[in-house]
């Protein structure tokens, strides 16, 4: 922690700039993830529905970002008679 | 076919309405046919800033709901005859703005005007997304201040995903309008500089509007700042911005960069 002198106050704009750069890099990455997950969800659903009937709402896709590894969890509930619709 | 501009920011109070009025008036003062549309349903203010608050009979919501014709709702400016205003509703809820209704109104305005300027409400909700939906060009109004820059970044993300142009795989033209800029404070290191904001948001600069008493003075009397005093520093900056908007390659000057002798003696009180 820097103590400001009585006569010369430190400049505050560089702090603003730095804080914004760090924050926005983080925020841009996380909104990008939401877009990516939505896209993946659509495409996975499309691929599966070619072969069986699944309920849109029974599909959950989650992405978790870790420092070393990120994971993508896809959870799809397949109804009992799903195979019958295969086109 | 006219061009549709959205004036947006995310954050409130940064100068969207002031800028919509000033840019609209400046374009009209150069002979272009302009309509400025207030999308801030429930909290309209463009009418007040443009000095037409006592002439509002019908509004955007009336037109969308089919209660009035577009021509009945449009208010022609008393000073510049090619400048029109389409006010927002003050009493109705913003849920009255339907995507289909907005689409119809914008299409009709586009065919009748050279420029359709949509003054977006603050926030990222329905009003703001509908205001940007049909835009060809977006003007992102930003103050050199952390919360405004952050919200502008968010709005830029929305412009790239929620507009019709973005959905059709086209690029929406985006410009930064930096308002309330104080070159002296930036020079002292107490305000983000133009280059800082440009580097963070990385969209091209349309203009820099200096912090000025003339802006408040103009809104007090109900005149866009370019009409209230066409030779004031903010007015000149808005005139320059409209020239860039029309495609002119004009270098951006930082207003108030040099301080007068008196300014140096009396600090910020002078000028």
Query: Residue A30: what pLDDT?
Result: 78
Query: Residue A83: what pLDDT?
Result: 60
Q: Which two tokens stand for residue B89?
A: 């509703």
Average pLDDT over residues B37-48: 96
Is B202's Cβ below 8 Å from some Cβ in A?
A: no
Q: Is the pLDDT of residue B247 over 90?
A: yes
Residue in B closest to A8 by C-alpha: B188
Q: Is the pLDDT of residue B128 over 90?
A: yes
3-state secondary structure B25-42: HHHHHCCCCEEEEECCCC
Give the pLDDT confidence of B190-202 residue by residue, as tens digits.
999 999 999 999 9
Q: Among B138, B151, B257, which Cα is nearest to B206's?
A: B138
Residue in A closest to B148 by C-alpha: A20
What is the CB-side half-sphere exposure of residue B18 using CA atoms within 13 A? 30
Contact (CB<8Å) A13/B193: yes
- Count the Cβ atoms, other than its own, within 10 Å of residue B103: 15
Query: Residue A87: what pLDDT?
Result: 44
Q: Among B254, B249, B268, which Cα is nearest to B195's?
A: B254
Q: Is the pLDDT of residue A12 over 60?
A: yes
Q: Residue B241 in contact with residue B207, Cβ under 8 Å?
A: yes
Q: Is the pLDDT of residue B56 over 90?
A: yes
Average pLDDT over residues B53-65: 96
Burial A39-78 (b: 16+ CB within 10 A, else e): eeeeeeeeebeeebebeeeeeebeeeeeeeeeeeeeeeee
Per DSSP, the three-state class of B132 is: helix
Higher pLDDT among residues B259 and A18, named by residue? A18
Q: Name the helix (H) or strand (E) containing B205.
A: strand B205-210
Q: Which of A13, A21, A35 sits opposite B189 (nearest CB)?
A: A13
Higher pLDDT among residues B101 and A34, named by residue? B101
- Chain B residues in contact with A16 by the CB 8 A cut-off are 145-146, 192, 196
Query: Residue B271: what pLDDT?
Result: 40
Higher pLDDT among residues B28 and A25, named by residue? B28
Contact (CB<8Å) A24/B146: no
**Residue A68 confidence class, pLDDT cut points 50, 70, 90:** confident
Contact (CB<8Å) B200/A28: no
Q: Which of B150, B191, B192 sits opposite A23 (nearest CB)?
A: B150
Contact (CB<8Å) A27/B150: yes
**Residues in Cβ contact with B83 at an 8 Å cutoff, skipping those fewer than 6 apart:** B24, B25, B28, B34, B36, B76, B77
**Residue B184 confidence class, pLDDT cut points 50, 70, 90:** very high
Number of H helices, E strands in chain A: 1, 2
Contact (CB<8Å) B190/A27: no
**Residues in Cβ contact with B79 at an 8 Å cutoff, skipping those fewer than 6 apart:** B223, B227
Higher pLDDT among residues B219 and A86, named by residue? B219
Query: Residue A65: what pLDDT?
Result: 72
Residue in A closest to B188 by C-alpha: A11
Average pLDDT over residues B46-57: 97
Higher pLDDT among residues B6 and A26, named by residue? B6
Q: Which of A13, A24, A35 sits opposite B196 (nearest CB)?
A: A13
Q: Which of B145, B146, B190 sits opposite A11 (nearest CB)?
A: B190
- Chain B residues in contact with A28 by the CB 8 A cut-off are 153, 157
CA distance B82 to chain A (A): 41
Q: How far apart are CA B44 and CA B61, in angstroms?
A: 12
Q: Which of A14, A23, A27 sits opposite B189 (nearest CB)?
A: A14
Query: Residue B92: what pLDDT?
Result: 83
Query: Residue A70: what pLDDT?
Result: 78
């Amino acid at each position: 922690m820097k103590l400001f002198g009585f006569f010369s106050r430190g400049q505050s704009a560089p702090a603003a700039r730095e804080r914004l750069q760090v924050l926005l890099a983080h925020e841009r990455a996380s909104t990008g993830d939401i877009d990516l997950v939505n896209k993946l969800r659509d495409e996975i659903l499309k691929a599966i529905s070619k072969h069986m009937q699944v309920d849109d709402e029974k599909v959950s896709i989650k992405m978790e970002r870790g420092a070393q590894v990120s994971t993508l969890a896809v959870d799809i509930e397949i109804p009992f008679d799903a195979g019958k619709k295969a086109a | 076919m006219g061009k549709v501009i959205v004036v947006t920011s995310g954050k409130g109070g940064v100068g969207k309405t002031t800028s919509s009025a000033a840019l609209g008036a400046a374009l009209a003062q150069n002979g272009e046919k302009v309509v400025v549309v207030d999308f801030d349903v429930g909290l309209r203010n463009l009418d007040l800033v443009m000095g037409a608050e006592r002439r509002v009979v019908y509004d955007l919501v009336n037109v969308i709901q089919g209660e009035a014709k577009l021509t009945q709702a449009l208010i022609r400016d008393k000073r510049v005859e090619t400048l029109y205003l389409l006010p927002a509703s003050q009493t109705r809820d913003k849920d009255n703005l339907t995507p289909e209704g907005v689409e119809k109104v914008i299409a009709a305005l586009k065919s009748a005007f050279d420029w359709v300027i949509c003054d977006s409400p603050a926030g990222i909700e329905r009003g703001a997304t509908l205001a940007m939906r049909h835009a060809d060009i977006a003007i992102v109004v930003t103050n050199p201040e952390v919360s405004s820059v952050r919200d502008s970044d968010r709005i830029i993300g929305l412009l790239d995903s929620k507009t019709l142009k973005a959905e059709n795989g086209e690029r929406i033209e985006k410009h930064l309008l930096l308002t309330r800029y104080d070159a002296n404070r930036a020079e002292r290191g107490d305000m983000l500089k133009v280059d800082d904001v440009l580097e963070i948001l990385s969209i091209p600069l349309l203009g820099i509007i200096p912090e000025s008493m003339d802006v408040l003075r103009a809104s007090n009397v109900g005149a866009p700042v370019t009409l209230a005093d066409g030779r004031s520093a903010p007015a000149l900056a808005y005139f320059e911005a409209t020239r860039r908007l029309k495609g002119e390659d004009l270098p951006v000057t930082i207003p108030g960069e040099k301080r007068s002798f008196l300014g140096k003696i009396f600090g910020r009180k002078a000028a």
